[in-house]
Structure 1
Amino acid sequence: MLKTTQKKVVFTSLTVLLLLTACSSKQATSQSSSQTTTSETVMTSISNPTSSISANSDYFTNTDLTDSYDESTAATITLSGTNAAISGDGVSVSGSTVTISTSGTYIISGESEDMQILVEASDADKVQLVLNGVTMKGSEALIAVKEADKVVITTAAGTINTIEDSNHSTDDYSAAIYSKSDLTFNGSGSLTVTGNYNNAIKGNDDVKFTGGTYTITSTVKHAISANDALNIVNSDMTLTAAEDAIHSDNDEDTELGNIYIESGNITINAGDDAIHASNILTIDNGTIDIQSCVEGIEGKIVTINDGSIKIVSSDDGINGSDWASTAGEMQKQEGVSVTINGGNITIDMAQGDTDAIDSNGDLTITGGTITITGQSAFDYDGTGKYTGGTLIVNDKTVTDLTQTGPGAMAGFGAGAPGQGGRGF
């Protein structure tokens, strides 16, 4: 049996040991957190966590999906008329331009007229712009990215943000929001962007949306335009455009000009195409309501795997075409295909020389429910395959991809599978 003094010594030793262990554990945790912050210099702060999004890693990175930020360490930009007050490192003001020159988080608030936020950092810098109740109007691009590795525009929770341009003096940044680097939009607030000069949002590289509520309008050209890729997940969008609503096109690299939609709620009114990709266009899911357009969903390789899609169009509803092809009319374009594996798709066509589903190459349907109202249901110049799913054309269930486009016999059901012309 231990004496009282011996018990005290043992107790004291155990206490010290526990305290040392706790301190060591806390230090290790702190080091781990520091290492994580270093590897994700801008986006890994957990002081203000908001949404947690799971998305296809082939199209979205952790940086794209993370909309948290640390107010205590962020720089601030407070807009007021034709001026701006700033605090923190990496930001300066000269006349009507607020320049961001290094990686970091920048919280923007207030109202301005003819002020521009210009990101001019290094090509290795990640920059997060937090819109915290912003109204910006002016005659140039209101947010312009000249150089950065990636810029993430985050709408703060519960905030309403508005950006609207007018005539520009130059074409250097021909949109209300223009980026020469990768650009991502996320957050849980709302953002209204109106482009009155050219596009509303334009990116020279990738443009991604991973959360938030957006009302995007171009009175002149495209609502959203990207050169390389345009990817959407978990976003509520109302898009109105004089030309295309969602547009990705690359004239220099035929492997680019891609669109990927994983989920979200998207409403579209377009003066030309609702969704246009010069290369690959993939829809994995989502609710897409195309209320008016010339052509609805258009790409070189179109794949629809799931989703609720409604299309009201004056020309083709879904169109597979290669705009770089030299094939003549009514000839198959190599590499062109339309594939529908699932989803609930409704296509309402205008009368005349229009096709609900038109492929200048192959057409394959393996599943889903497709309901078509119009004169011509299917037109393809390659191989047509129907292996599953429900096809309803003008209130009648059909069981094959009978050609009904231009070049086939008039009236649905009059042609034979695999024979017919191209519907442009």
Structure 2
Amino acid sequence: MRKITKKTLFYTGMLVLLAGCSTETTGQSSNQATTDATNTSTYQTSNSSEQTTETKYGNYKNEDFDASYDESNAAAISFSKSEATVKGEGVTTSEGLVTISSGGTYLLSGSFEGQVVIDAGEETVHLVLNGVSIKNPTSSAIYVKQADKVITTLASDTKNSLEDGADYNLSSEEDEPDATFFSKDDLTINGTGELTVKGNYNNGIRTKDDLVIVSGTITIDAVNNALKAKDSLSIAGGTFDLSAASGDGIQVNNTEDTEKGWIGIDDGTFSIQAGNDGIQAETDLKIATAALSIKTGEGAAMSNPDSETSYKGLKAGNALIIDDGTYKIDSADDSIHSNNTITLSNGTYDLASGDDGIHADNDLSITDGKITVSTSYEGLEASTITIAGGEHLITASDDGINAGGGSDSSEGEGQFGADSFGGGPGGGDQADESKLITITGGFTVVHAQGDGIDSNGHIKMTSGTLLVDGPTNGGNGALDYNGEFVQEGGILIAAGSDGMVQATSDTSTQPSLSLYFNQTQQANTLVNLVVDDKQVLSYSPSKEFKNIVISTPEMKDGSTVTISTSGKNSGTASNNLSLGGTYTEGTLIGTYTLVDTITSIDQDGNAVSENQMGGPGGF
């Protein structure tokens, strides 16, 4: 007898404990190893040395990680065309049909034209795909009618494939099965082999219960959804190449139970091409880390998309949380979207969107990371937006960062209509106290054709750097708020047209200078700032501008400020900003004294009255 044991499953950041089949692991490990005997076949766990698993958001049992099997105790099913040869018990066969009716381990190999049905009551079935190809022209390739759980192992160094037909033989009252690999109960996939699924009828892999994927290389090409579960999806690792022509790449859709309908991803590499959403969770979508590439629809450049169809990259009905990872998303709709809250702790994001780069109906919190929104209608949008750190470059055809709605002068609402937001009413000159943009750190650059930073309520900045290259038209402003913009620290530079200028509010503790030039300054014109004879910075806006608002920690009430243009700065520029350095060859615009929290003047030193739209309010 030959016992085959895969002692370890490797995937990024994971070490797995192969232990008792009944113990759940949610970031925990177990030292127990058990044997579960069912009928004449035995599903055995590994007795290899102790290992640990670090999982955060998925819900796993130790048996999910166990890809080992004892060939001597397994029922071997060998296929040839529409025939099957069976060594072992628990299996019945007829031409084009194999039925597994009891728990145990089943080893599948060869090429089969037909269907494998699992109908094992409340028992666990361990299905080992050991170089098998199953093609069924009239229904699912594998159909799990009933089992406590089916654990599917992709045997090491094997290639496996499943394919269904474009038409199923279903009665008029039936709508299931509807996937190449269809399960009515819990389904787990593990192992280090490969699985290719062709879904010609509807979905690729679907379970009406919980789906767990631990490892493996999985390729799915489906006419509708590639991966679909009802109650939950947990992914500990693996490599995924998913194509969903008219559906979602990954979908979990339980709308009946708020404790279900979630997706937890702890690791993995994903390439997703979806006709609709890339990854969609009815409730929570939580990712510890992943390397993820998504394209939805025809990408951000998609013209005239169906406004009633969702083409979002990452989509959650409730909380969307990402701890780390790399994310490249080219989406016809929002790249990252939640109907409630979004929390981004770290990670690298390369987003191109036909609508919003990142949208949360309620709160958006960015702790760290690097976010690049290369194209969007609005870059970041939520009721409240907090940026605490990271490096971010936001490009938008309308508002760059928006708390609570589109710009007042915008004629459109994006390709998908107006967004929904939590909180109270706002708009016009009335401040919505529920809308707030808070910047406490980081380096954020905004390029916007509409308002650069727009809040229907308030803005508060205590630290960090915010550079805004705002609109060139007079109907929008680099800064736009209905309440107050309280500046308590950090570097703020906002350049744009002179039609709708707002500087910071007079409740700020750090002064600002709002300077109106006599002539429009050309794009990339260097603006240099000296405060009290100290060289502070040089900045060159990427678009033409006639007004610039500057606030830095060096600026105090009574400070003397010198502004020059053109010239050179010897310092190293980051996003067109040079701190310190030596400035030469410039043209002096003027030297001014800061006599109040807001000094708003033209370049000749004459006071200019600005559009301070805020009414009563505050923090």
TM-score, normalised relative to structure 2: 0.55
1:402 Cα deviation (Å)?
4.1
Residue 308 in structure 1 maps to residue 326 in structure 2: yes
Determine which structure has greater relative contact order: mean sequence separation of CA pairs < 8 Å that are 6+ residues apart, divided by chain length.
1
1:201 to 1:346, Cα distance in 2 relative to 1, 3 A = same
The whole-number CA distance in structure 1 between the counterparts of 2:227 and 2:192 is: 19
The whole-number CA distance in structure 2 between the counterparts of 1:249 and 1:361 is: 22
**Matching residue of 2:313:** 296
The whole-number CA distance in structure 2 between the counterparts of 1:413 and 1:367 is: 21
Secondary structure of residue in 2 paired with 1:377: strand
Kindly indicate which of the two structures has a greater share of residues assigned to helix: 1
The whole-number CA distance in structure 1 between the counterparts of 2:457 and 2:352 is: 23
Percent identical pairs in the alignment equals 37
**Matching residue of 2:238:** 235
Q: 2:452 is matched by which residue type in structure 1?
A: G
Q: 1:130 is matched by which residue type in structure 2?
A: V
Q: Give the aligned CA root-mean-square deviation in angstroms.
A: 2.7
Residue 364 in structure 1 maps to residue 403 in structure 2: no
The whole-number CA distance in structure 1 between the counterparts of 2:105 and 2:372 is: 48
The whole-number CA distance in structure 2 between the counterparts of 1:39 and 1:99 is: 20
1:369 to 1:82, Cα distance in 2 relative to 1, 3 A = same
Gaps of 5+ in 2: 1-30, 298-310, 411-449, 459-479, 481-619
Residues 33 and 46 in structure 2, CA contact (< 8 A), matched pair in contact too = no
Residue 190 in structure 1 maps to residue 198 in structure 2: no
1:250 Cα deviation (Å)?
0.7
Residue 96 in structure 1 maps to residue 99 in structure 2: no
| Higher alpha-carbon deviation: 407-416 or 60-69 | 407-416
Which of 170, 181, 197 is 1:177 aligned to?
A: 181
**Matching residue of 2:214:** 210
Residue 159 in structure 1 maps to residue 177 in structure 2: no
Q: 1:392 is matched by which residue type in structure 2?
A: L
Residue 389 in structure 1 maps to residue 406 in structure 2: no
Gaps of 5+ in 1: 1-32, 322-335
- Rg larger in 1 or in 2? 2
The whole-number CA distance in structure 2 between the counterparts of 1:179 and 1:53 is: 29
The whole-number CA distance in structure 2 between the counterparts of 1:142 and 1:148 is: 17
Q: 2:455 is matched by which residue type in structure 1?
A: A
1:418 to 1:35, Cα distance in 2 relative to 1, 3 A = same
The whole-number CA distance in structure 1 between the counterparts of 2:152 and 2:52 is: 16
The whole-number CA distance in structure 2 between the counterparts of 1:299 and 1:43 is: 38
TM-score, normalised relative to structure 1: 0.80
The whole-number CA distance in structure 2 between the counterparts of 1:345 and 1:402 is: 19
Residues 376 and 404 in structure 1, CA contact (< 8 A), matched pair in contact too = no
Q: 1:296 is matched by which residue type in structure 2?
A: G
1:318 to 1:43, Cα distance in 2 relative to 1, 3 A = farther
Residues 367 and 388 in structure 1, CA contact (< 8 A), matched pair in contact too = yes
**Matching residue of 1:120:** 119
**Matching residue of 1:146:** 145
1:144 to 1:407, Cα distance in 2 relative to 1, 3 A = farther
**Matching residue of 1:16:** none
1:137 Cα deviation (Å)?
1.0
Q: 1:394 is matched by which residue type in structure 2?
A: T
The whole-number CA distance in structure 2 between the counterparts of 1:229 and 1:43 is: 26
**Matching residue of 1:250:** 254
Q: 2:150 is matched by which residue type in structure 1?
A: V
Residues 216 and 223 in structure 1, CA contact (< 8 A), matched pair in contact too = yes
Residues 401 and 417 in structure 1, CA contact (< 8 A), matched pair in contact too = no
Q: What is the CA deviation profile of residues 247-285 of structure 1, one whole-angstrom value per residue up to 9, with x for unaligned ones?
A: 001122232111111111100110110000010000110
Residues 131 and 159 in structure 2, CA contact (< 8 A), matched pair in contact too = yes
Q: What is the CA deviation profile of residues 286-325 of structure 1, one whole-angstrom value per residue up to 9, with x for unaligned ones?
A: 100113442100002111111111111111011112xxxx
Residue 415 in structure 1 maps to residue 454 in structure 2: yes
Q: What is the CA deviation profile of residues 109-129 of structure 1, one whole-angstrom value per residue up to 9, with x for unaligned ones?
A: 11111x111111122x11111
1:35 to 1:276, Cα distance in 2 relative to 1, 3 A = closer
Q: What is the CA deviation profile of residues 359-398 of structure 1, one whole-angstrom value per residue up to 9, with x for unaligned ones?
A: 1222111121111112311111x32222222221139xx9
Residue 378 in structure 1 maps to residue 416 in structure 2: no
1:377 to 1:120, Cα distance in 2 relative to 1, 3 A = same
1:117 to 1:314, Cα distance in 2 relative to 1, 3 A = same
1:405 Cα deviation (Å)?
5.8
Q: 1:369 is matched by which residue type in structure 2?
A: K
